[in-house]
Amino acid sequence: MDFSNTIHEALEISVEQFQKDEVILTMPVGPKTRQPMGLLHGGASVVLAESAASMGTLLNINQEKEVPVGIEINANHLRAKKDGIVKAIATPIHKGRTTMVWDIKIVDENNELISICRCTIAILKKK
């Protein structure tokens, strides 16, 4: 997957695992992803989570005729993170014809839970 000139490139998000029932993305915690108080920005975590859900949906649809689009995301930030790496682990809760719902856990290098998210992805017909 080409991340050139996208938010993924800007935030240095990379793919660790890319399968129909589990997508794992990683992102460094540093100047690009911190808020002014020096902690991982919740918005950066949400970008990571929605990206993992969207990529998982992409693997489960007909990519020639359909496209995944995020329509809802909920995030609970449970632990602060100042540096290091975070990992989003996305697994499907529901795989429907027109929507998919994903559970995403964001953990750090010690497998400590940083955030939990739920994301709904719409499956739209390409025009």
Q: Which pLDDT belongs to residue 2?
A: 82
d(CA 124, CA 100): 11
Phi, psi torsion values for 8, nearest 5 degrees: -65, -40
Residues 91-108 pLDDT 10s = 999 999 999 999 999 999
Q: Is 50 one of the catalytic residues?
A: yes
Q: Is the pLDDT score of 1 beyond 90?
A: no
Q: What tokens were used for 99?
A: 């929507």
pLDDT band at residue 111 using 50, 70 and 90 as cut-offs: very high
The whole-model pTM stands at: 0.96
Question: One of 9, 12, 50, 109 is an active-site residue; which one?
Answer: 50
Contact (Cβ atoms closer than 8 angstroms) between residue 49 and residue 104: yes
d(CA 87, CA 68): 21
Q: What average pLDDT score do residues 64-79 get?
A: 98
Strand order in the sheet with 113-125: 14-19, 22-29, 84-95, 99-108, 113-125, 66-77
